[in-house]
Amino acid sequence: MRPVAIVGLDCRFPGAPDPGAYWDMLMRSDEGVGKVPGQRWNAQDFHSPTGAEGHSNTSEGGFITDPDAFDNEFFTISPREAAAMDPQQRLLLQCAWRAVEDAGIAPQKLAGSPTGVFVGIMGNEWAQLHLTDYARVTAQVGSGNGYCMTANRVSYHLDLKGPSLAVDTACSSSLVAVHLACNALLSGECDTAIAAGVNVALTPALNIFYTQAGLSAPDGRCKPFSAEADGIGRGEGVGAVVLRRLEDAVADGQPVYAVIRGTAVNQDGRSNGITAPNRWSQQDVLTAAYRRAGVEPSEVTFTEAHGTGTVLGDMIEIKALGQLHADRTGRPMAVGSVKGSIGHTEGAAGIAGLIKVALSLHHRVVPASRHATKENPALKLAKQGLRLLKTPLRLQSKPAIGGLSSFGMGGTNAHAVLESAPAYAARPEAVVVDGERTSGRTGLGSGVFTVSAPSLDALRRNLLAQADAIQRRRVSAGSLCWSSNRVKTGHRYRFALPAQDTGELAGALREAATDDDLLARLTGNPAGRPLVALLFTGQGSQYPAMTARLYRESPLYRRFLDEADAALTPHTGGSVRDLLLSGDPEVHRTRWTQPALFAVGYALASSLAELGVRPTLLLGHSVGEYAAAVLAEVFPLEQAAQLIAARGALMERLPEGGGMLAVRATPRDLAPLLEREPLVGVGAVNGPQATVLSGELAALGRIDDALQKRRIRTRKLAVSHAFHSPLMEPVLEEFAGIAEEAGGGVPKLPVYSTVRGRLLEAEPMDAKYWTEHISAPVLFGEAAMQLLEAGPTHLVEVGPRPVLTQMARRLRPSALAGGQSVALVPDEQAGGHQLAEAVAQLYRSGLEPWWNAAYPEEERAPQRLAPYAFSDAHRFWTRGPIRSATATGVGVLPASGAAAREQSGEAEPETRALSVAGTVEALAVLPSARESAPVDVVASAVIEAVAGVGGYAPQEISPGSLLFEDLGFDSVMVMELKDRIQERLTGLEAMSVQDLLPRLSSVGDLIDYLRDRVGAAVA
Amino acid sequence: MQSTPPSPEAVAYLAAVGTALPGDPVDNAMLAKTLGVNEEWIDVFIGTRTRHFARDLITGEVRWSLADLCAQAGERALSAARVAPEEIEFVVMGTATPDHLMPATVNQVADQLGLDQLPTYQLQSGCAGAVQALELGRTLITGGGYGTGLVIGGDVCSKHLELDRDLSGAAPSDLVNYVLFGDGAGAAVLTSEPRGHRLALRRVLNRFTGLGREPGQVIDWFGLADRHEDRQAVREDYKAIESAVPVMAAEILWELLEELDWSTDQVDFLLPPQLSGRMTRRITEQLDLPGAVEVSCVAETGNNGNALPFLQLERLLEQMTDGQRALAVAVESSKWIKSGFALEKV
């Protein structure tokens, strides 16, 4: 058989709410067995130490906590439907989701794929309780029951289109499900498979059965292969694994827990009694599995046995194993069974064993088997080539092989052979990027950690879950962030935070979860994709060592600054990059200022483009226009570099003695003053009251004096020359010559020209344009106003400090109310962290970054993250504890939530208990109730009807509630809704479902529609 | 694990190195400002330009424990080697400044890295501790049948970095303790098969030579009973160190060369003892291996004890190509321990 990889898993077993806790419990040889919770059945009613007829000899077992908790809102399942679902379906749904996340896949990305779902299950007690209460059988109760629906629910809610089926072979069900899943993968029926098992004990029926059949342990505990073994103790649980063909897992860079090398299933046939285990068939299934895996028995280091702890069952299993292992050389094979810790989890037993074996091979240590120290001497283990796992077994560094048995009461046996993952699969190579975009160096210099959730409450809960997990273990922060971008980005509320250290990250996540203002700043709930405007900063924004830290920290930025430097060096006679890195104050000389700002602008904008930020609107202030033009493909980098270098050098040669003066006035106000000074002109108009004059210093001084007298505010700018002034004329001719060589076409992206003060419409940015650009005033105000009218959601400052975004904000503060300013380099110390924050900000606003560009190759390696933490606020448990017929009839428990809490020992959650029939028994009002109560008859009738059909409290329904997306309505519920509305609104003429369907988007729509109809009927 | 019989030709390989330096570098100007030491004196007599501290120089807050730094370095070494934590079969750590006397810091590091069910060792030693850890790691692999292990070295001087003390009148022997040291950690993944950088660890030297000699350096620790005694926590016989270390370094170099039968021109890189920028320069000149490229770090990292060999190794890995050889020399001047090792990239 070709190998199948276990790439993801999740589980919940007695005493262990998740795989981490499961592993810890096993490594401590602990157990999760205790009293029958009051929620299930009244243990005293059914307990008889002597095992009297109709009674069980034990009142203990392995029960999971909170089987009633279900995050129905996450799956948009209405409370009424949730209440009508077998808890096994609910548990499985959450478990499958988490297992897929553990596999490093955002579950949303599996939607539509032919992924298979294979569920092992043998308990149908929910149906026995509810489908026999004929008066209360509703549509929801029907679909809430049945083995098939356990698997089909997972396929439905995750939108998986591969085979989807439930398997019942009694206690071997879930290992048989794994067997079928492997076969489906290997036959090409699906490329990913979820194999699972689930078991929840709702009634004492099997306890009574085990007792009456002489198989029940009085203390409710399986003691596998122990001298004290005296029968079965029942256990509950749910577990799921995500399986891939090994070659696919490796190709996709998914880390692998362990590899399934071979599985086999057979039957006892007509053996001595249908429920009796059969040694010969067990031997056969072992032999078949070893053969299929291509291993010799002696290669198997350990086996997770079925090991129910019945004297006969243990004996037969050991003899069957002994047949194959008695003559092995070297150390005897180690044998244990997880049933000693969690009981016999029946339909979930196979998956419990599989997860234990997979984790053992992953951690390279096999936990000790509880109760093994008191070995049953009658088993003569040593003679059989076997030994019990009395202490944890550290596996050698070479590949290790483990076996797993699971046998069904009706005679269907299963065995699987697993092997440790090959080193290359346990820790995959870095993911080499999808090819097209990221050639060359990548990485922001800091990761961005992302978490998403369907609501703010859910987000808070998940931030805490991540913080806890991250704090527990030190891993590469970069890999952790990259993995979070891949797995944790599918939901509506987007949280993002730059992170370079896991310790600091854990603290920051915790802080955000507890500080609402902070959470609001770090979270977005975008309605669409951002419309990004890039504003390229001009002269005056430069400073020594600008972006030097970013250059050192971010390989991505480094790559593009190096590119710009290489293009400039032939023309600048020195390296702009080296100038910046050395912190040379020469950067203030315009022959360096201009190329340096161009290089910074080009490198920042190119980094953004590489990260997937599609610029839709471009504007450059004066020299900032050069980098904008390269981005708009006016000319290639090399030509722009030549031109900007020449521009700077020519201006440098002009005599100093020019200056610039910023004035709080309009150009018109200044016109009379300028008429008298031919050597001064308007250099820039940055806004209605923001004019910059440029020209000869003495003349500027005279103007300044005149303005001072009029109490008009002025500010002298620190510049070497009078840019955009008549003093520039001497360079024009020579520059025009060079510009002719450089060329320049029509921009391919919208460029808002500061020469024209407007959007360029099919006009070339050619030699004529760039020559005019030198002496023409910079019409930033007008260009920016027009850009703002196009409605960008984000103004991104592409320069070494924020200048233009602030100027633009002053132009039209109100228009920008919904937009955001983004600074790639917010201050002189900014580095990778700040660039990462800018990317985080854009992601929060709806950008889907090309995350791979944000990380260097070595960080693009998957790290497992804590899976989604579901809410346990909503509880669904429709039946009270089962009581013996002599006590009371089967009835509804009025305060079932309280019973659940009692046994889980937890603080009081928001609790609701719904009966299957849909009447609300005890409904705590949820604090999330959205809007105020409706005011009219139609509205209240509709809301009551919607609430009644969905099982919501009326307060939870608002006109904005979406029937399908928010409230989980389906076609059956719509039928009922129609009937209920017609019952309540007597003035309403008869209507069909077809009439109603187009009006069902939101509750408000429905109310409006019905109001019209009622009105029409009255009229 | 212990099942593979030791083979006489068994070789341990260094697959990758990871290091961790706390916070931003602290330059001499900053140190001078904070402690009132003369900046020029540091430049001229110590020659160390920057160092890193686990304690914040301004607030005095301890921001990293030794375990934090060692785990960070360990995680980086594992990532660089592409070795999963589950593959690690032992951890050996050398330090002179554990976070606690119990539990041993190595076990806190294992906990942070998610390592369990494996042997751990902590060697208490000064600068030679990292080399001793390498030697023990090599022994476990070549003789113990282990496949993959983690070797760590690190030190923090936070405990003795008294920030509210005015040093303007302090004697040079006292001053030197404040300007010489820094904090940091390093780690290396050792393997039985060539992986990652494939550096064969050809020889490790570790020898106590301090019989009857006064310690050149003492770092004290205090308990409930003696915490108020007026003892200097860190003492250094700088004169003795200055005269003895160069001689010992040369002996170590020649011992390694002779045992390996390598000639001086077969050594491509030299990792000299890292005392201070100035001392290291002097010793390197005296070792006189003109054909070998010197790999030093102390001028930038400060003397951070057991982290030093790893910081040097990290710089070495960037430069070394197939077939090249490197020799490392380290001297612990407390009780005069000679140590060194030889590497060859295969």
Per-residue pLDDT tens digits for A922-950: 332 333 333 444 457 888 889 989 998 88
Report, as an integer, the average pLDDT of A314-319.
Answer: 97
Which of B82, B140, B190 to substitute to test the interface with A, most A CBs within 10 Å? B82
Contact B75 A426 (CB under 8 A): no
- CATH number of the domain to which B248 belongs: 3.40.47.10
CA distance A469 to A59: 36
Report whether pLDDT(B173) > 80: no
Which of B3, B17, B112 to substitute to test the interface with A, most A CBs within 10 Å? B112
- Does an H or E element contain A1005, and which? helix A1003-1018
Contacts of A362 in chain B (CB under 8 A): 86
pLDDT for A433 equals 58
The least confident of A855-869, A923-937, B43-57 is A923-937
Of B252, B254, B272, give the one whose Cα is nearest residue B264. Answer: B254
Residue of A171, A190, A222, A481 marked active site: A171
The least confident of A56-70, A882-896, A996-1010 is A882-896
Q: Are B59 and B157 within one domain? A: yes
Q: Are B203 and B322 within one domain? A: yes
Contact B72 A397 (CB under 8 A): no
Q: Is residue A347 within 8 Å of A174, Cβ to Cβ?
A: yes
CA distance A235 to chain B (A): 28
Report whether pLDDT(B5) > 80: no
Helical pair B105-113 and B66-81, crossing angle rounded to 10 deg: 50
Q: Which residue of B has its CA nearest to A24?
A: B116
Contacts of B1 in chain A (CB under 8 A): 394, 396-397
Contacts of B116 in chain A (CB under 8 A): 27, 363, 365
- Does an H or E element contain A663, and which? strand A658-663
Q: Which of B166, B191, B216 is the C-terminal boundary of a domain?
A: B191
- Which has more pLDDT, A236 or A995? A236
Distances (CA, A) of A627 to A548, A596, A602, A734: 19, 11, 5, 22
Beta-strand relationship, B293-294 and B269-271: parallel
Q: Is residue A925 within 8 Å of A955, Cβ to Cβ?
A: yes
Residue of A306, A325, A491, A773 marked active site: A306
Q: With a cut of 0.95, is the ipTM above it? A: no
Q: Which residue of A has its CA nearest to B115?
A: A363
For A741, other C-beta atoms within 10 Å of its C-beta total: 11
Report whether pLDDT(A465) > 60: yes
Q: Are B218 and B178 within one domain? A: no
What is the Cα gyration radius of chain B?
19
Per the structure block, which two tokens stand in for A220?
């409710």
Contact A474 B83 (CB under 8 A): no
CA distance A474 to chain B (A): 5
Contacts of B3 in chain A (CB under 8 A): 396
CA distance A21 to A342: 12
Amino acid at site A318: I
Q: Is residue B128 part of a domain?
A: yes
Nearest CB to B83; choose among A427, A473, A858: A427
Nearest CB to A397; choose among B74, B87, B113: B87
Q: Are B174 and B48 within one domain? A: yes
Contact A479 B79 (CB under 8 A): yes
pLDDT band at A886 (very low <50, low <70, confident <90, very high): low
pLDDT digits (tens, 9 = 90+) for A737-792: 999 988 899 999 999 999 999 999 999 999 999 999 998 999 999 999 999 999 89
| A794 a catalytic residue | no
Report whether pLDDT(A882) > 80: no
Contact A429 B82 (CB under 8 A): yes
CA distance B285 to chain A (A): 30
pLDDT digits (tens, 9 = 90+) for A369-400: 999 999 999 999 999 999 999 999 999 888 99
Report, as an integer, the average pLDDT of A58-78.
Answer: 95
- Does an H or E element contain A119, and which? strand A116-121
Interface contact B118, partner A, CB < 8 A: yes
Contacts of A26 in chain B (CB under 8 A): none
Phi and psi for A935 in degrees, rounded to 5? Answer: -110, -20
Of B303, B274, B278, B302, give the one whose Cα is nearest residue B25. Answer: B302
Q: Is residue A103 within 8 Å of A241, Cβ to Cβ?
A: no
Q: Are B187 and B244 within one domain? A: no
CA distance B192 to B190: 7
Which of B76, B117, B150, B197 to substitute to test the interface with A, most A CBs within 10 Å? B117
What is the Cα gyration radius of chain A?
36
Cβ pairs A/B, distance under 8 A: 56
Q: Is residue B108 part of a domain?
A: yes
End-to-end CA distance of chain B: 25
Beta-strand relationship, A237-245 and B50-51: unpaired
Contact A426 B87 (CB under 8 A): yes
pLDDT band at B175 (very low <50, low <70, confident <90, very high): confident
> In whole numbers, what is the pLDDT of chain A averaged over residues?
90
Q: Is residue B306 within 8 Å of B153, Cβ to Cβ?
A: yes
Contacts of B148 in chain A (CB under 8 A): 397
| Percent of chain A at pLDDT exceeding 90 | 74
Q: Are B233 and B333 within one domain? A: yes
Report whether pLDDT(A693) > 60: yes
Q: Are B29 and B170 within one domain? A: yes
Phi and psi for A197 in degrees, rounded to 5? Answer: -150, 150
Q: Are B228 and B299 within one domain? A: yes
Q: Is residue B290 part of a domain?
A: yes
Domain that holds residue B92: 13-191
Beta-strand relationship, B337-345 and A912-914: unpaired
Of B205, B186, B268, B203, give the one whose Cα is nearest residue B16. Answer: B186
pLDDT for B283 equals 94
Conformational region of residue A330, where left means phi above 0, alpha means psi within -120 to 50, and beta covers everything else: left
pLDDT for A439 equals 60
Q: Is residue B254 part of a domain?
A: yes
Q: Are B161 and B57 within one domain? A: yes
Q: Is residue B335 part of a domain?
A: yes
| A182 a catalytic residue | no
Q: Are B255 and B321 within one domain? A: yes
Contact A861 B79 (CB under 8 A): yes
Contacts of B192 in chain A (CB under 8 A): 397
Instruction: Give the angle A418-A420-A422 at the CA atoms, nearest 5°.
Output: 125
Nearest CB to A426; choose among B75, B79, B84: B84
Cβ within 8 Å of residue A684, ≥6 positions away: A621, A622, A691, A692, A694, A724, A754, A777, A778, A779, A780
A638: Cα separation from own chain's centroid? 42
| A306 a catalytic residue | yes
Q: Which of B191, B221, B251 is the C-terminal boundary of a domain?
A: B191
Q: Is residue B6 part of a domain?
A: no
Per the structure block, which two tokens stand in for B298?
């102390």
Contact A398 B79 (CB under 8 A): no
pLDDT digits (tens, 9 = 90+) for A79-122: 999 999 999 999 999 999 999 999 999 999 999 999 999 999 99
* Sequence-separated contacts (24+) of B100-108 with Cβ below 8 Å: B101/B221, B105/B65, B105/B66, B105/B67, B105/B70, B106/B70, B106/B152, B108/B65, B108/B67, B108/B71
Per the structure block, which two tokens stand in for B152?
């760590």
Q: Is residue A242 within 8 Å of A192, Cβ to Cβ?
A: yes
Contacts of B113 in chain A (CB under 8 A): 473-474
For A104, other C-beta atoms within 10 Å of its C-beta total: 22
pLDDT for A434 equals 55
Report, as an integer, the average pLDDT of B293-314.
Answer: 96
Report whether pLDDT(A469) > 90: yes
Helical pair A637-653 and A767-775, crossing angle rounded to 10 deg: 30
Half-sphere exposure of B202 (CA within 13 A, CB side): 19
Q: How many residues does chain A have?
A: 1019
Q: Are B62 and B44 within one domain? A: yes
Q: Is residue B2 part of a domain?
A: no
CA distance A28 to chain B (A): 12
Q: Which of B173, B191, B209 is the C-terminal boundary of a domain?
A: B191
Q: Are B173 and B204 within one domain? A: no
Contact A476 B79 (CB under 8 A): yes
Contacts of B146 in chain A (CB under 8 A): 397
Report whether pLDDT(A219) > 50: yes
Q: Is residue B134 part of a domain?
A: yes
Q: Is residue A805 within 8 Å of A820, Cβ to Cβ?
A: no
Report, as an integer, the average pLDDT of A131-135.
Answer: 82
pLDDT for A903 equals 41
pLDDT digits (tens, 9 = 90+) for A582-599: 999 999 999 999 999 999
Q: Is residue A619 within 8 Å of A536, Cβ to Cβ?
A: yes
pLDDT for A420 equals 96
Instruction: Give the angle A1004-A1005-A1011 at the CA atoms, nearest 5°.
Output: 90
Beta strands in chain B (DSSP E): 13-20, 26-27, 50-51, 91-95, 120-124, 148-155, 184-191, 199-208, 217-219, 234-236, 269-271, 293-294, 325-332, 337-345
Residue B211 exposed, middle or buried by CB count within 10 Å (0-12, 13-18, 19+): exposed
CA distance B148 to chain A (A): 8
The structural domain count of chain B equals 2
Contacts of A476 in chain B (CB under 8 A): 75-76, 79
Residue of A179, A344, A621, A724 marked active site: A344
Structural domains of chain A sorted by starting position, each given as residue range(s) with its CATH number in brackets = 4-61+82-426 (3.40.47.10), 449-529 (no CATH), 532-656+720-847 (3.40.366.10), 937-1018 (1.10.1200.10)
Interface contact B84, partner A, CB < 8 A: yes
Interface contact A364, partner B, CB < 8 A: yes
